[in-house]
Structure 1
Amino acid sequence: EGHDRLFILVSGSVNKPVSMSKIKEIFGKIAYERRVRQIVDVSSYNVRIDDISECAAAVLTEPVEKHDRSIYEAGAEVLSNEQRAKIFNKVLGTSIMYEQQTIEDFYKTNISSGMNHSFAYDLIKLAFNGEGKKATLQLAVILNPPLRTFEEWLQDNIQLFQ
């Protein structure tokens, strides 16, 4: 009660296949019933948490009317697995070869690690069909600087791989 805005960030769970959109719908309904005027939801793919927080901060500090009920998806860039391997090689000075798994092996690996069927099945769409992957260069009008690339993230976190 008494708030104009709500920032919502929902992360899926491997073991509980509740739709993230269903969770957002429930929170959104409650928020609007309580007279929240704006909900900030930054859906993301391959994006640094800093970029998500900067986008939310920009939207939440500007007038509600400017962003109204806009939906901002965040995707820094779309890379193939081969391109990712090349970036790892360049930044880390290593020789990494990407080898494509079969769909069946990918599914079995995820199931054996404790992932439920629904989540593993949906992950196949993302991993093999590229569904949900898109770069959102338009966020540059909200963020300054724009979303960081995978290579920039790897440079910032190189110590995690040594």
Structure 2
Amino acid sequence: MSKVYVIGATGGVGNQLVKILLSRGVQTTVLVRDPSKAAGLFGESELLTVIQGDYNDNDTFKQSIVGHERLFILVTDFVNMPAIKINYAKLAYAAGVKQIVHLSSGSVSGPWRQSHIATAHYRSESAIFDLPERGSYVALRPTSFFSNHFFGDNMTIKYKNSIFGSADPDTKIPWISPTDIAELAANVLTEPTEKHGDMVYDMTTFKLSGKERAELLSRVLGKEINYVQIPVEAEYEVWSEKAHMPHILAYAFADADYSHFNVNRALSIVLHRQPETLEAWVEINKDKF
């Protein structure tokens, strides 16, 4: 089985991806700033190689990518994202990597200049796709992560029995489980390269309004949760001051337009199971609410 190299291994999706790969017996290499964090997450395994480095450490990546056929890229630096991802892709393909799986964003499926998030991911995707003599390139485009509830909803549910947002209570917002993202990435990285080729997988499994989400949370948590509509300025303040996001991200979240997202009915084909529901995810994470 091909060796897999993972960039972004200690975040929510990357963490789950590495654990899935190890559970499948895949030789996995992770590039991390803090090896002790990787040790805490993954423990000891003969299948795991931990490389200390960061986005600017080209020499370390050049040396450690040799011998790998697959690369997973997840980058959270939205300011420098395109340059970082394109650099990794060039070095990887030059070293003989046959497949790159890139965690992009569902925003790329809409207007590319609609927000900084869309622009950063679009520029990354288009540049990697246009690289000469490259190997396979698969883009995963998820929408709102279930784990976005940890940006503040978990605390307002716990202490105010409410969730807040500037969208109309009946406006439907797209959602996807981080577990589904990680599992789809693992499937693509372990199945024949030819099967997935240069696929793009849009990833929205549910669209729920604020009102519907409050009703769902009420059922699972066993207490009444309300959706409270707030001014968009207040939502921006939540993202910037409570979630500590820079302006370019806080504004993008506050100004998000979800009208062009559709539920992707066929995800079960590549997941090899039905997608995780928000109910199931909240049940697993009940203690955090």
Quick check: TM above 0.5? yes
* 1:58-97 alignment, distance < 5 Å: 58-97=187-226
Percent sequence identity is: 36
The whole-number CA distance in structure 1 between the counterparts of 2:73 and 2:270 is 18
Q: Is the 8 A contact 1:7 1:39 kept in 2?
A: yes
The equivalent residue for 2:141 is 43
Residue 52 to residue 101, structure 1, CA distance change in 2 (3 Å): same
The whole-number CA distance in structure 2 between the counterparts of 1:148 and 1:155 is 11
The whole-number CA distance in structure 1 between the counterparts of 2:203 and 2:192 is 21
CA deviations 1:23-72 (Å, max 9, x no partner) are 43332222222221211123323233322222122112211111112222
Q: Is the 8 A contact 1:76 1:137 kept in 2?
A: yes
Q: Is the 8 A contact 1:40 1:71 kept in 2?
A: no
The equivalent residue for 1:123 is 253
Give the structure-2-normalised TM-score. Answer: 0.48
Structure 1: state its 5+ residue gaps. Answer: none
Structure 2: state its 5+ residue gaps. Answer: 1-65, 103-139, 146-175
The equivalent residue for 1:55 is 184
Residue 125 to residue 26, structure 1, CA distance change in 2 (3 Å): farther
Q: Is the 8 A contact 1:5 1:38 kept in 2?
A: yes
The whole-number CA distance in structure 2 between the counterparts of 1:149 and 1:23 is 33
The equivalent residue for 1:156 is 284
Looking at secondary structure, tell me which structure has more strand per residue: 2
Larger mean CA deviation between 147-156 and 105-114 belongs to: 105-114
Give the structure-1-normalised TM-score. Answer: 0.81
Selected match of 1:9 from 50, 74, 86? 74
Deviation at 1:21, TM superposition (A): 4.7
The whole-number CA distance in structure 1 between the counterparts of 2:89 and 2:209 is 34
CA RMSD of aligned residues (A): 2.3
Instruction: Flag the structure with more relative contact order, 1 or 2, with Cα contacts below 8 A and sequence separation at least 6.
Output: 1
Deviation at 1:86, TM superposition (A): 0.7
Larger mean CA deviation between 18-27 and 80-89 belongs to: 18-27
The whole-number CA distance in structure 2 between the counterparts of 1:72 and 1:23 is 22
The equivalent residue for 1:34 is 95
The whole-number CA distance in structure 1 between the counterparts of 2:141 and 2:83 is 14
Selected match of 1:24 from 73, 77, 85? 85
Residue 50 to residue 109, structure 1, CA distance change in 2 (3 Å): closer
The whole-number CA distance in structure 1 between the counterparts of 2:232 and 2:70 is 42
The equivalent residue for 2:234 is 105
Deviation at 1:155, TM superposition (A): 2.1
CA deviations 1:84-128 (Å, max 9, x no partner) are 1010011112111111111111123333333321111111233xx
AA of the residue aligned to 2:70: R
